[in-house]
Amino acid sequence: MDLIANHISHRFGDLAVLDDVSFTVRAGEVVAIVGPSGCGKSTLLSILGGLLLPTSGAPELRGAPPADSLNPLTFVFQDFALLPWANVEENVEFPLLHTQLSAVQRRALVDDALRRTGLTDFRKAYPKQLSGGMRQRVGISRALAVRPAILLMDEPLSALDSQTRELLMEDFVRLLADGGMGAVYVTHNLEEAARLADRIVVLSRRPGRIREVVTVPMTRTERGETAAREKLLALQNQIWSLIRNEAIDAEREVQHA
Amino acid sequence: MLDRAAPETAKDKATRRVLFRGAGFVPASSRFGGWIALALVIAIWQAAGSAGVVNPLFLPAPLAIVRALYELAASGALWQHLSASLLRIGVGWLLGTAAGVAVGFAIGLSRLARSVGITFISALFPIPKIALLPLLILWLGIGEEPKIATIALGVFFSTAISVYSGVDAVPRNLIRMAQSFNVPFATIVRKVIWPGALPAILAGFRITASVALLLVVSAEMIGAQYGIGAFVLQAGNLMQTDQLLAGVVILSVFGLAVGRVINWLETRLLHWR
């Protein structure tokens, strides 16, 4: 199943946030969206996931989702969005409660998702008892439980410390390795984008327009190798040179706001 | 290499400790402090009464109040008054709470209900509900109904306000999360909004329990033969201050008991906080 951003523009009142953004996320592909602060990355993701109506244009799907997918477009949120009154397994089961699945089937999906994220031993813990990294693992586990075709990840690592970020990045690489699941990965971190994405959509300063779409010239497996580091660094520098001046302008604009 | 200075050798006249400035602002209550203070006050009060320092007509000693309570209980009058008050508070509070929760949720979830509801609540909330009792007597007669209606009205407004404030306070990201999984509206209300608003709703219950107690006493003082409020008023009219204070003690115990019930509910339902 492909996800298409079809000439999407958006305004908040008088403020133009996105201007004519078009690209396609092909089945199993990971697309990162980067750009200066306030360029509309998260707004674009909300529109792609159907949580926000664009002023013009539309998000579209092409092709059928996998037969076992219960929620083809599934978000992983920056702030985890866990129900604080529910324990880990209840949080993971939450999106399954309204489906036609039996309790046994739900249990199997929850068990599988917890196993894939290493949370099996923490199933009875409440969010307040978990570290930030573990909370995000619960968020990822909940997303995996509904068998998504495309994960919509809104800066999923930005609230975490650098060590936890590194560990979760390894998890993302592993989860997306087989190409069975695509992702749109919004981030301000160019290293994360270069490490995870097949293509990187670089947005301009507000209103966000596509400045360039950069293809990462190696597989994700190759990127883990030492020899690839220089190439990835060069790629990051290339993207940074594209957005640096606008990032400075955007920062000054935020400070004056 | 790390610079490991030996503190013993580094000490000289110019060496001094950094002053600790982080004390205070973390008040911790002692488990028995409150009870000891209460016992002390009662003991002083009793001693002053026994010594004749205080005129028992104006302030009867604690033992006289306990005696009055015992006599009330032995004669059966205590239960007669207490049951009348409990019935009025129970029915009035339940009716007011049920209506308040329904209207509060409607205001919290519906644009139309919010536009209309907040206007009416803002206009009617400040009215002292006891002032409506004469009107309610005209409408509903002189039985239990106007007293119950007064309590229900008082409880309704506070409940509605705490419920819609609680609904407003539910983090929007949780609702968006549920929507992103196509969770139906009713399930979002039941599984996200209700538990999210529960802390504010229970805090509202604490307030409405006090409101109900205040209104039942006021209403019984205006027009009732039985009830703790009526009993306190009669005792005052007859200068039976020991009985009057016995009535006040009953009200205090009732308030404490309700507080305990709400504490228990919070412990049970909000254990996740």
pLDDT at residue A168 in the model: 84
Does the pLDDT value for residue A108 go beyond 80?
Answer: yes
pLDDT at residue A33 in the model: 95
Does the pLDDT value for residue B13 go beyond 60?
Answer: yes
Selecting from A49, A71, A83 the residue whose C-beta is nearest the C-beta of B192 gives: A83
For A181-237, what is each residue's pLDDT tens digit?
999 999 999 988 998 899 999 999 888 999 999 998 888 878 877 888 888 898 888
At CB < 8 A and 24+ separation, what contacts does A176-180 make?
Answer: A176/A30, A176/A151, A176/A220, A177/A220, A177/A221, A179/A28, A180/A28, A180/A66
B169 to chain A, any CB pair closer than 8 A? The answer is no
Q: For the residues B13-18, what does the mean pLDDT come to?
A: 85
Cβ <8 Å between A97 and B174: no
pLDDT at residue B7 in the model: 57
pLDDT at residue B2 in the model: 56
pLDDT at residue B74 in the model: 93
* pLDDT band of A254, cuts 50, 70, 90: low
For B160-216, what is each residue's pLDDT tens digit?
999 999 999 999 999 999 999 999 999 999 999 999 999 999 999 999 999 999 999
A95 to chain B, any CB pair closer than 8 A? The answer is yes
Helix locations, B181-240, DSSP H: 185-188, 194-223, 228-237
A159 to chain B, any CB pair closer than 8 A? The answer is no
Arithmetic mean of pLDDT over chain A = 90
Nearest Cα to B184, choosing from A44, A100, A49?
A100
For B98-156, what is each residue's pLDDT tens digit?
999 999 999 999 999 999 999 999 899 989 889 888 899 899 988 889 999 999 999 99
Chain A from 52 to 81: CB within 8 A of any B CB = 71, 73-75, 77, 79, 81
Q: Tell me if the bond preceding A207 is cis, omega within 30° of 0.
A: yes
Measured in whole angstroms, how far is the alpha carbon of residue A86 from the centre of its chain?
Answer: 24
B267 to chain A, any CB pair closer than 8 A? The answer is no
Chain A from 200 to 239: CB within 8 A of any B CB = none
Question: Which residues of chain A neighbour B191 with C-beta distances below 8 Å?
Answer: 83, 94, 97
For B39-80, what is each residue's pLDDT tens digit?
999 999 999 999 988 888 899 999 999 999 999 999 999 899
* pLDDT band of A248, cuts 50, 70, 90: confident
The two three-digit tokens of residue B268, written as one number: 């049970």
Cβ <8 Å between A81 and B173: yes
pLDDT at residue B6 in the model: 57
Chain A from 114 to 133: CB within 8 A of any B CB = 126, 128
B180 to chain A, any CB pair closer than 8 A? The answer is yes
The two three-digit tokens of residue B136, written as one number: 């309610």
Helix locations, chain B, DSSP H: 7-10, 33-50, 62-75, 77-109, 111-124, 133-140, 145-169, 172-180, 185-188, 194-223, 228-237, 241-269
Q: Pick the residue with more confidence: A92 or A241?
A: A92
Best residue of B181, B193, B272 to probe chain A, by most A CBs closer than 10 Å = B181
Measure the CA angle with vertex A138, ends B169 and A153; round to 5°: 80
Amino acid at A149: A
Question: Which residues of chain A neighbour B195 with C-beta distances below 8 Å?
Answer: 83, 85
Cβ <8 Å between A71 and B272: no
* pLDDT band of B8, cuts 50, 70, 90: low
* pLDDT band of B9, cuts 50, 70, 90: low
Selecting from A86, A95, A126 the residue whose C-beta is nearest the C-beta of B181 gives: A95
Is the separation of the CB atoms in A254 and A38 below 8 Å? yes
* pLDDT band of B23, cuts 50, 70, 90: confident
Q: Which residues contact A251 (CB under 8 A, 6 or more apart)?
A: A36, A37
Question: Which residues of chain B neighbour A98 with C-beta distances below 8 Å?
Answer: 182-184, 187
Cβ <8 Å between A84 and B176: no
Is the separation of the CB atoms in B92 and B102 below 8 Å? no
Is the separation of the CB atoms in A184 and A3 below 8 Å? yes
Does the pLDDT value for residue B20 go beyond 60?
Answer: yes
B128 to chain A, any CB pair closer than 8 A? The answer is no
Selecting from A83, A126, A146 the residue whose C-beta is nearest the C-beta of B174 gives: A83
Is the separation of the CB atoms in B161 and B101 below 8 Å? no
